[in-house]
Each structure stands twice: as structure tokens, then as C-alpha cells.
Chains A and B, each alone.
Chain A
Amino acid sequence: MHFSGLRVIKEALTGHKGWKPLWRDPAPKPAYDFVIVGGGGHGLATAFYLAKTFGQAKVAVLEKGWIGSGNIGRNTTIIRSNYLLPGNEPFYEFSMKLWETLEQETNFNSMVSQRGIINLFHTDAQRDAYRRRGNAMLLAGADARLMGQGELRARLPYLNFDNARFPIKGGLLQARAGTARHDGVAWGYARGADMRGVDIIQNCEVTGFRIEGGTVRGVETTRGYIGAGKVGVAVAGSSSRVMQMAGMRLPIESHVLQAFVSEGLKPLIDTVITFGAGHFYISQSDKGGLVFGGDIDGYNSYAQRGNLPVVEDVAEGGMAVMPMIGRARLLRSWGGIMDMSMDGSPIIDATPVDGLYLNAGWCYGGFKATPASGYAFAHLLATGRPHETATAYRLDRFARGHLIDEKGAGAQPNLH
């Protein structure tokens, strides 16, 4: 079933009787060449690229609940490639390029909107830091431009420029950044993978790995044993729990990150804005809700809900940067569980168990990475070699001392 404008018109004229479910509901087969554990954004993208780009036919995605029920459905939908370090920036720029053609690639409306992102700076030192970041982005082929206060005042007149404590001096703009419809991303990848023969098996929890002589043979699940040539684990948030079943400890802590949405408002914020003096980021959804968030709560958690001190902190950040939103009512808040790694950067690598591969440690930046993460993980699974933009995301980099620590915060996950 191919989606097109013509198809929409035809269905509208014939009573919408031709639409079909976007993916099948297959029973698990006894074995597959590739089993992907985790039907979130990264797992579904991995299956999609395995089937489409690397021509693999025998692929299954196993999901404990329903697909897209984890962090792909819980994030603040921002896509961007404004990183600093050489281990990160080319990867995220690769992801940004994949976002730009995602809808053509999957034939699905993921509502990718390149509305730009503006990182505000508040001091001269921060301007220097952002200029450096912008230059690093340009070197990696991304776009970046420093905006002065005058230009920013014309573009976003409602910001609190003359805040006595955090005056806004300007911003770093990435015009190609923006937002995407997060559920639509999961559904687009799921449908695209399913069309190419991938079995998406929901309500199928992995309960153990069958490992013989240091090689993985398959996975035990709540729907029986499933054999596998290679197993890829993409379960960010629960990586430690799942890899523990393979006898591994990871350089990861699980933390809760909260997000918020206001009541629907008329069009107000036509870009993504981040506050540089605290931790606050905001955009407006197409339904009109202001979508925003801030810091993680800061303690290990698997609860998918946070506590009030961070709600207050996020609200204070919002009020410092744009006092007008103080009159908007909060509609909902929720929490998601983040894989906070020891250097703030992800892991896409083989593990000490032959045939078992790991995609983890996305901290709170996993959504924007979804296409490149899936592509790079599929590349690793299909060819046995890391993708050229993901060579730094090794599991052993901690032991070798080759950390990718954007903030220079050290091995303290709640500071990344």
C-alpha cells in the first residue's frame, strides 16, 4: 500500500474503505538471521535499514509491549546536529541528512519540520563557546550561524532579553534542525520494515539469551525460544536490565527525564529555543501545545515519572527566558527512562559475546539520533564493521580512556 496525495483523494471519494493495517501481526518463526530486541525508534530503524539498505530478509523485531511505547513516544521531538566533538558531530549530521529524506525513504508522513533551533547565550564566554561549537558543526558539514541580539530581537521579540541575571546576548542558529512527529517516526519505520518482510512481534518479552561457547544462539522469550544468527539489543532505558541476562555490566545508569506540554495555543513559537543559563528547551507542536523540558531528576530511576523539584526547576527556566508562558496552563507531564552513560555519549558496538550487539547509552539525546542509530547499527550487524560515522561509539572506550564527553563532566551520569 503506497501512500500518495492521489491515494488520499481516491479513498476520500470511496468512503475510506481501502486503508489497511500498517503492519502485520505475525507469530514468531523458529529462527531468524537477525533478531532485534526492542521495538522502539532505534530498533525499528535498525530493522528497516537491515531490510532496505542491506538487503536482509530474515529479520525480527521483538517488543515487550507495543511498538513505540518507550522513549520514542515520550520525547520532546527535537532533531538537530549541533554537537562539538569529532566522535559525535559527523554522526549526528549523518542523522540530520537522513531526517531530511526520511519521509521519501519510508513513504510515510513523519511531519519532519525544519523550523530551526536557536541556542541562546547569555555571557561573552558563552558566545565564544557557541562560536566554537558552530565552527565544529561547519567543519563536519552541518549548518550553523551566530545570531546577534538585534537579529534575535526581531525574530523572537517575546524573549526576556533584559533579564538582570541572565540577559540574552544572542543565539546559535541551526536552520536545518527542527522537530518531527515522534510516533510517526516509529510507525513509518515499522511499516517500511514490515513491507520488506521484517516480522514485528509485539507483546514478546525477551527473558534470556541462549549463549553456547561464548556465542549467542538465540533468545528465550515469553512466546518461546527464537533462534538467531545475530542479536542486536536496542532497549535504551533498560539496557542494564537486558544485558545483565547476558552476564554483562554496562557503564550506564538509568535516570528519569520529565517532559511537559501546555494547553493548545495559537501559533506562537515557530522554532526550537533552548535556554543557555539553565536547562530548558521549548517548541510548539502542530496541535498548538508548548512542548518543553529540562534536566533529568538526577537519581537512578526506572519509574517513568519524576518528582516536583524538577518540575519547579523547569518552570523557573521557562519563566526566566520567556515570561509570557507563565499564563499558559500545563496540560500534561510525563517521564521517560534514559540510559545515562558515563561520558554522555552512546554505544553502538559488538559485545564480548559473539553475535550479540549493543545499541545503548543515548542519554536524553536518542530521538534525534534515531535514523543514524538505526543505519549504523544495521551496518554493524550486516557487515560486522562499524559505520564510518560511528567508529568512536565503542564499548571499550572507557577502559581505553577515549571518552566522548561533550560537557567534560567526567564519569558522573547525572551531570551529562
Chain B
Amino acid sequence: MLIPHPLLGLRDAQEFTYLGDAALLDRPSPVAEGAEAAFCDYVFLRGNPAGVHRELWFHEQGDRSWLVVTRNTLTHEILGAELASDVALALKGAAE
């Protein structure tokens, strides 16, 4: 699998470490009401779709950036990649 790194172009997936569901970027607030249950869901329940999945890959043997990769779990086709920091900033912007 080749991952289209937004800064470095096509890179072999072997250079990356896989973490999983990109929803992990959306960490619950530790001071909100029901934080314990929210963190339990955050840690243990992840998206596991058969089809298009947005997921976190770490470019460990490259520039050590985190990417959000969009991939089809039925075919392993990679549909796109963006910097996780950009996605996190957009999430934060949307929340505020």
C-alpha cells in the first residue's frame, strides 16, 4: 500500500505505524459531566466499518508526522491522506 503523504508524496505503508479510527483525535473533556463514561467509549469503542474508514497512521520511519488516511477496508484502496494536525485544528475550530 502506498500512502499519499501531503508533504512527501507517495510513501510505502511499511514506513508507518497504524493506530486506528481517526475519531481518537476528538478526545473528550476530562472535566465535562459523565467524563468517565465518555473516556471509556473513547478508549474501547472505535469505528470498524466495512468500507471507507478514516484512520490515524504515524510516519514513524519518515518525518514523524501523524496522518489521517482515508482507506477502503474492503479493498485496501487508499483514497486520500491529510495531516492529522490540520484535521485536529479544523475540529477545534468547529467546536469553537
Contacts and interface: CB of A to CB of B under 8 A. Distances in A.
Interface stretch (B25-33, B45-53, B58-66, B81-89): B45-53
A254 B73 contact: yes
Nearest to A397: B44
B94 interface: no
Interface string A53-97: 000000000000000000000000000000000000000000000
Q: Indicate the size class of the contact surface on chain B.
A: 20 to 34
B74 interface: yes
Contact of A301 (B13, B37, B45, B76): B76
Most buried by A among B19, B40, B75, B76: B76
Given A303-B74, A303-B76, A309-B14, A253 B40 contact: no
Given A253-B20, A309-B14, A398-B40, A300 B73 contact: yes
Contacts of A240: 48-49
Nearest to B37: A399
Given A398-B40, A399-B40, A303 B73 contact: yes
A382 interface: no
6 contacts: A250-B45, A300-B20, A300-B53, A300-B73, A307-B76, A414-B20
Q: Indicate the size class of the contact surface on chain A.
A: 20 to 34
Interface string A397-416: 01100000000000111100
Given A254-B73, A414-B18, A299 B55 contact: yes
A251 B44 contact: yes
Interface of B: 1, 13-14, 18-20, 37, 40-41, 43-46, 48-50, 53, 55, 71, 73-76
Closest 3 CB pairs of A and B: A240-B48, A251-B44, A302-B50
Contacts of B45: 249-251
Nearest to A411: B43
A303 B76 CA distance: 7
A411 B20 CA distance: 11
Contacts of B76: 301, 303, 307
Chain A interface, DSSP helix/strand/loop, else mixed: mixed
A251 B41 CA distance: 9
A302 B40 contact: no
Contacts of A412: 19-20
Interface of A: 238, 240-241, 249-254, 298-303, 307, 309, 342, 398-399, 411-414
Contact of B55 (A252, A254, A300, A309): A300
A257 to B, nearest CB: 14
Nearest to B20: A253
A253 B19 CA distance: 11
Contacts of B53: 300
B74 A302 contact: yes
A238 B41 CA distance: 20
B82 to A, nearest CB: 17
Nearest to B1: A307
B44 A411 contact: yes
